[in-house]
Structure 1
Amino acid sequence: MAAACVRTISKTGRLVYDKATCHPTKIPAFVIPLRNAERTYGTSRLDFGARLSSYALLRGGRVLGCAFIFGGGFGFGLYQTVKLTLQRHLAEKAKVLSFPPLLQDGLTQAPDLGTDLKLKLYQYKTCPFCSKVRVFLDYHGIPYETVEVNPVMRQEIKWSGYRKVPILMVNGTVQLNDSSVIISALMTYLMSKEKMIPQILACYPEMKAKNEHGKEVIEFGNKYWVMVNDHEYPEKDSRKEEIKWRKWVDDWLVHLISPNVYRTPGEALASFDYIVREGKFGRFEGFFAKYVGAAAMWIISKRLRNRHNLQEDVRQDLYKAVNDWMAAVGKKKFMGGDSPNLADLAVFGVLRVMEGLQAFNDMMENTKVKNWYRRMENVVHNHNHSE
């Protein structure tokens, strides 16, 4: 996947830099302008291209090989997803969409979330799954600290056996993994006011399986359920609809981001420029991640298009998905009515990572999402008390 690809690209980039012939001080200056970019890199187009080709031959095409082996997009900027086939298999095997058992009563009174609990979010800023969690926390006015993870070395999460982001640490002792589990568990905590986080997490069992490549992957049972009784839920009649669209976000919407933001070489370069600026990269890690990563992900985006059976013009799939969402919202302000529900927050969190890119501008101009999106911006901003 793209995160693994960036790690390989950046690590091998260091090896290239260590060679005298590839040191930036030896390269003639040539500034490549970028649309909407705040950073450019000085290099000779011909010289850099020749050296990149030589490097690819010397390393056996490891950069692009990595891209094709790991395949898919980490969404917009370094996200990892479980494939649809695995999700369907696990859903059939575990029957996670059946109503889950509720937590037992009589637990110790929980502290008020956001005052007694200290939350630390380990993230990639441009990851749509991390964005989903931030939107939830911001909307509910829950203070939290963010730790930007270097996608190459990942030293910030070396203590964790779970090697993906987001990871949310509660009081430095309880670890929550997977964006949908994090959101469901915290929403359960907010609504129940009497259940402790460790007991809540027991309702989201970790399940391990192997994908078609033989690689072990992790999923979580019941992850779209908020563990309270129906009579406690504010939207009794629309609870299943909320779950349906939250799942749709993870199973479909996120898979449209990479093919659209890496659609052309120019869009891929602008996307990686944004990723490098907003992410935590070393100087030379960022240099190789930006240029080699953009080239690799442009090629990978075509494979993603075929994998997910997208149209030749992937914008049309993005437009249709967004308009399908707006049709589900209907004439209401939000799917949740006068206030956003968890599906509103998830859709907004994923779409928000494209802001500033051509795909986002095209989406706003060619779909019915603009008014809903602006309302979401306002309510999330008004509730935002994050640190």
Structure 2
Amino acid sequence: MAAACMRTLAPVNRRFLQIHSGRIGAVADRVPRVSLQGTGWAHWTNGSGFRSKILSAARTGGGGRGRIAGCVFLMGSGLGIYQAMKFYFQHHRAEEDFSHMFDTELKLTLYQYKTCPFCSKVRAFLDYHGLPYEIVEVNPVFRQEIEWSTYRKVPILVIDGTESVQLNDSSVIISTLKTYLINKDKSIQQTVIYYPEYKTTNARGKEVTEYSNKYWVMLNEIEIEDVYPCKTTRREEVKWRQWADDWLVHLISPNVYRTPTEALASFDYIVREGKFGPVDGVFAKYVGAAAMYVISKWLKFRHGLQDDVRQDLYRAVNEWVSAIGRKRKFMGGQEPNLADLAVYGVLRVMEGLKAFDDMMENTRVKNWYKRMERAIQEQRGQS
């Protein structure tokens, strides 16, 4: 919503800003690609000359003390080499254990706004599963970075392999990749067919693009039993993923732009974390904050929120925690599922703002949220 607001305001100052904004060439030519296998190891040697000097020093080191010092040095060097080799083989074995999950030729590039909740959902999924990816931060006003695409929203995930595939919509991106990671017999090109796009008209009479099956991981019967042992867990995951998109995400803007002070703090964060120049950043911060404060009031009315929008946020978050229950660590049980990652991704964009601090203080979400942080940091989805 903030990005849409800035695009609306851009013509007011566009000519002035373009003086200060350099034109960017083709994105594909300037974005470095990252292999999903991870970085390689640099093998090195100092040659025999270094070893000869050590041995020579040990032989001529001045009697017993020289010999002892030489032996100690050699032993220390040997232990160091042993530890280095041990670390190498452990790392190499870990890479081999995970390499079967993803084609090593595939490279992921995520086009995003850092403060966008839908982009945050995709990053949470990629990080949890330990999938390396390149980020291209998109300027929310001019969007030069995605000029090459007819799809003008973010996130966009480009997957480069034997063929390039562009995935749009955060839920489609996540469902496609999850299906691919589980069903290794199909390529990305074959997997994305499960999520065909179609045109529809929303409640305001505007034509929008939608995707079939976008909340479903498309598996055969054997895979379903393996991934979702309990019959209700799959439908539960779909229900709460959709809830995150259709309800929870709409509580973010009214809460982070609730007062003029909070709106200014939010846009300060957006400008600091986003891709803005020094001039358009100042313009975005003050004009954007004022505009979003007004728009947040309209959003409150549109979504039927209470005068104190915090109460709607608290109620939604507590509803989520209650659905998990006391016996489970996550909605997915012992480990997060796609619903956990979606809700976490949406809530994470408020970090550092008053709305986030208030939510942590006045709801029961803190323990679950901290568990999610650890699970993603440890990349526990790799296994």
- Give 2:262's aligned residue: 267
Secondary structure at 2:215 match in 1: coil
Q: CA deviation at 1:198?
A: 1.3
Q: What is the aligned partner in structure 2 of residue 43 from structure 1?
A: none
CA contact (8 A) 1:122 1:165 kept: yes
Residue 321 of structure 2 is matched in structure 1 by 326
Paired position in structure 1 for 2:3? 3
The 2-side partners of 1:347 and 1:192 are apart by 25
Question: Are 2:12 and 1:12 aligned?
Answer: yes
Is the Cα–Cα contact under 8 Å of residues 11 and 285 in structure 1 kept in the other structure? Answer: no
Hey, what's the Cα distance between the residues in 2 that align with 1:321 and 1:113?
36
The match for 1:368 is: 364
Count of matched residue positions in the alignment of Structure 1 and Structure 2: 296
Q: Would the alpha carbon gap of residues 315 and 160 (structure 1) be closer, same or farther in structure 2, given more than 3 Å must change?
A: same
CA 1:146–1:231: 2 relative to 1, 3 Å: same
Matched, 1:248 2:243: yes
Matching residue of 2:60: none
Give secondary structure in 2 for the equivalent of 1:188. helix
Q: 2:252 aligns with which of 254, 257, 266?
A: 257
Letter in 2 for 1:126: T
Q: 1:115 aligns with which of 104, 114, 118?
A: 104
1:298 pairs, out of 285, 290, 293, with 293
Local SS of the residue matching 2:333: coil
SS at match of 1:202: helix
Aligned to 1:193: 184
Name the residue aligned to 2:215. Answer: 224
Cα separation, 2, equivalents of 1:384 and 1:269: 37
1:181 to 172, 178, 190: 172
The 1:381/1:122 distance shift into structure 2, 3 A limit, reads: same
Once the two structures are TM-superposed, the CA of residue 210 in structure 1 deviates from its matched residue by 3.3
Letter in 2 for 1:206: E
Change (3 A) 1:366 1:215: same
Query: Residue 244 of structure 1 aligns to which amino acid in structure 2?
Result: K
Q: How many Å separate the matches in 1 of 2:101 and 2:315?
A: 41
CA deviations over 1:47-75 (Å, ceiling 9, x no partner): xxxxxxxxxxxxxxxxxxxxxxxxxxxxx
Match of 1:313 in 2: 308
| One-letter amino acid matched to 1:354 | M
TM-score by length of 2: 0.74
CA RMSD across the alignment:
2.1
Is 1:353 the equivalent of 2:349?
yes
Among 118, 133, 136, which residue is 1:129 paired with?
Answer: 118
Higher relative contact order (CA 8 A, sep 6+): 1
Among candidates 130, 133, 142, match of residue 141 of structure 1: 130
Post-superposition offset of 1:111: 7.2
Q: Which one-letter code corresponds to 2:147 in the other structure?
A: K
Aligned partners of 1:259, 1:12: CA distance in 2, in Å?
Answer: 25
Unmatched 5+ stretches in structure 2: 20-98
Between stretches 227-236 and 162-171, larger displacement belongs to 227-236
Pair 1:287 & 2:287 matched = no
Q: CA deviation at 1:156?
A: 0.8
- Does the 8 Å contact 1:142/1:385 carry over to 2? no
For 2:106 and 2:17, locate their aligned partners in 1 and report how far apart those are by CA, in whole Å.
44
1:212-241: CA deviations, max 9, x gaps? 555331111110010102431322421000
Deviations 1:341-382 (A, max 9, x none): 000000000000000000000000000000000000001011
> 2:17 touches 2:280 (CA, 8 Å); kept in 1?
no
Contact 2:110 2:136 in 1 (8 A): yes
Q: Which amino acid aligns with 2:361?
A: E
Structure 1 unaligned blocks of 5 or more: 20-109
Distance 1:132 1:17 in 2: 31
How many Å separate the matches in 2 of 1:152 and 1:353? 19
Distance 2:3 2:255 in 1: 17
**Maintained 8 Å contact 2:254/2:300:** yes
The aligned counterpart of 1:62 is none
Aligned position for 1:171:
160
Structure in which a larger fraction of residues adopt helix: 2
Change (3 A) 1:326 1:221: same
Paired residue secondary structure (1:175): strand
Give the conservation status (yes or no) of the 8 Å contact 2:121–2:170: yes
What is the CA deviation profile of residues 3-50 of structure 1, one whole-angstrom value per residue up to 9, with x for unaligned ones? 23202334423456799xxxxxxxxxxxxxxxxxxxxxxxxxxxxxxx
Q: Could you tell me the TM-score, scaled by structure 1's length? A: 0.73
Q: Counterpart of 2:194 in 1: which secondary structure?
A: coil
Task: Say which is worse superposed, 8-17 or 112-121, in terms of deviation.
Answer: 8-17
Shift of the 132–6 alpha-carbon distance from structure 1 to 2, 3 Å rule, reads same
Specify whether residues 213 and 235 from structure 1 end up closer, same or farther in structure 2 by C-alpha distance, changes over 3 A only: closer
Question: Secondary structure at the residue paired with 2:109?
Answer: strand
Whole-Å separation in 2 of the counterparts to 1:368 and 1:213: 35
**TM superposition shift of 1:284:** 1.6
Paired residues of 2:264 and 2:286 also in contact (CA < 8 A): yes
**% identity of equivalent residues:** 68
Measured in 1, the distance between the counterparts of 2:177 and 2:219 equals 12
CA contact (8 A) 1:6 1:289 kept: yes
